Amino acid sequence: MAFHEKQLPADAPIADKALNWIDARFPVTSTWKAHLSEYYAPKNFNFWYAFGSLALLVLVIQIVTGIFLVMHYKPDAALAFASVEYIMRDVPWGWLVRYMHSTGASAFFIVVYLHMVRGLLYGSYRKPRELVWLFGVGIFLCLMGEAFMGYLLPWGQMSYWGAQVIVNLFGAIPFIGPDLSLWIRGDYVVSDATLNRFFSFHVIAIPLVLIGLVVAHIIALHEVGSNNPDGVEIKEKLDAKGVPLDGVPFHPYYSVHDVMAVAVFLIVFSAVVFFGPEMGGYFLEYNNFVPADSLKTPPHIAPVWYFTPYYSILRAVTSDFIVYLQVGVAAFVALLWLKSSLNSMLKIAALVIGLAIIGAMFVFDAKFFGVVLMGVSVVILAGLPWLDHSKVKSIRYRPSWHKYIYILFAITFVVLGYLGVQPPSAIGGLVSKVCTFIYFGFFLLMPWWSAAGTFKPVPDRVVYHPH
């Protein structure tokens, strides 16, 4: 394409001339139009659609506060804890930056979890937004890795022993497990080598991937357009100029909405940072204010709250639970054979895989399958676009009883999270086993329950109530 610079009048404002000069060399105005002022979003957004912007805000908070923390932090096992205390006590406003970063980690997961809930409720993962959802799952996985590696850096008791427990889980993988654990730690125990590599991944490697996935997530979203509470594709109804009849420019309409959401969020965020940054030990555990001691194990080791639902699934898989797991796998394979529309080859493949899994449960110990189920409990989210066979996208037009399934799933997730921070107990173990079955049942049985029932008619245009 030939270089072209728009000719402006000689008396044009300097700002217009500067912008014209930049536009000829870099697409500032066209990018602004494509992603903000001329990106048409459905006019019936509700408060659930603010959490994507809030997630971007928290990402910026984490990056900015992380930069200031790195200026004073020392990734050395002998100095790390003291450097954090130096930040808290001697660096001007260091305590505020540290608490903003630690509170921001929990806020990030709260916002992302709520963002995912909206996707579940309104079917935002359905065609044509499968890739948007997959990028989102990638962001979630990176976020978990970022949080885990950052959790070690304060080098407190819970940081040290939490990392020790989690890294040792990889040792349960047959054949390669011990070597894999050694490679992750860089030593035979969590040590200075572990701290250094976790620091480099937390500060450089994962943030670069995370930012790339966020950009890809936004570009993919703006390519196919945003979903809405009705699940109606607004690009199918256009006016003579090609503008969606049910769309409004994201800026200024939704940018103003997001500013309101940001104001509310920052009020709550500031209240936590200034008045309760530890949140009773859920955001910052009390043991993490004690220097790491490799000779003294804390009485109860548990990950931070946002990992505990998956940690509960790990703990639920015991030797006696394997029997029920085998029965569950057999029942699921039988269901595929009797009630699915899969062709014969896929049914045979499912049978072979099911038998292989049941056979492996006789060979490998429960710890290995606990690690497997913990990993699958996160990765299974990526399969939602193909597991959901509902005739409609939005919960608004699904059978009423579908709502109770979502409520049961939400309660199950919260219960698993609560049990994950509690010491092991007989009752807690039993409840976590039941919740584990409910958790996986929600996803694996979705092809059947999501298509069942009487669906309400979906309107041709979005349902908009001015306010």
Annotated binding-site residue numbers for a ubiquinone: 222
Residue 195, both tokens? 């701290």
Neighbouring CB atoms inside 10 A of 360's CB total 13
In contact, 126 and 88? CB cutoff 8 Å = no
Three-state SS string over the chain comes to CCCCCCCCCCCCCHHHHHHHHHHCCCCHHHHHHHHHHCCEEECCCCHHHHHHHHHHHHHHHHHHHHHHHHCCCCCCCCCHHHHHHHHHHCCCCHHHHHHHHHHHHHHHHHHHHHHHHHHHHHCCCCCCCHHHHHHHHHHHHHHHHHHHHHHHCCCEHHHHHHHHHHHHHHHHCCCCHHHHHHHHHCCCCCCHHHHHHHHHHHHHHHHHHHHHHHHHHHHHHHHHCCCCCCCCCHHHCECCCCCECCEEEHHHHHHHHHHHHHHHHHHHHHHHHHHCCCHHHCCCCHHHHCECCCCCCCCCCCCCHHHHHHHHHHHHCCHHHHHHHHHHHHHHHHHHHHHCCCCHHHHHHHHHHHHHHHHHHHHCCHHHHHHHHHHHHHHHHHHHHHHCCCCCCCHHHCCHHHHHHHHHHHHHHHHHHHHHHCCCCHHHHHHHHHHHHHHHHHHHCHHHHCCCCCCCCCCCCCCCCCC
* 156 touches 292 (CB < 8 A): yes
List the structure tokens of 352: 């072979």
Which residue ranges make up the annotated binding site for heme b?
101, 115, 202, 217
- Name the helix (H) or strand (E) containing 249: strand 247-249
Residue keyed to tokens 């929990």: 106
Residues 6+ positions from 439 with CB-CB distance below 8 Å: 309, 313, 377, 409, 412, 413, 416
Binding site: residue ranges? 101, 115, 202, 217, 222
**Residue labelled with tokens 């090609």:** 242
For the beta carbon of residue 122, count every other beta carbon within 10 angstroms.
21
